[in-house]
Amino acid sequence: MAVHYRKEDSTYYERRKVGNQTIELGINWLEDSDDGRHSWWNVYITVFNKKKDMFKNMDKKVITGENPLKNVLVAREMFYDVEAYLLDRELVHGRYDDVTIICTWVNNRRRDAYYRVLSKMGYEWGTYYHEKCIKKTYNINDINPGLMWWKEDENDN
Q: What is the CATH number of the domain that holds 109?
A: 3.40.630
Distance CA 78, CA 94 (A): 22
Full domain range(s) for residue 95: 4-156
More confident residue, 64 or 4: 4
Distance CA 101, CA 71 (A): 21
Confidence label for 113 from pLDDT (cuts 50, 70 and 90): confident
- Of 61-70, 104-113, 116-125, 138-147, the range with the lowest mean pLDDT is 61-70
Res 55 pLDDT > 70 = no
Measured between alpha carbons, how far is residue 111 from residues 80, 108, 151 in Å?
19, 5, 33
Read off the pLDDT of each residue in 61-70 and give the average, rounded to a whole number: 64
Domain count, the chain: 1
Residue 145's CB is within 10 A of a number of other CB atoms, namely 10
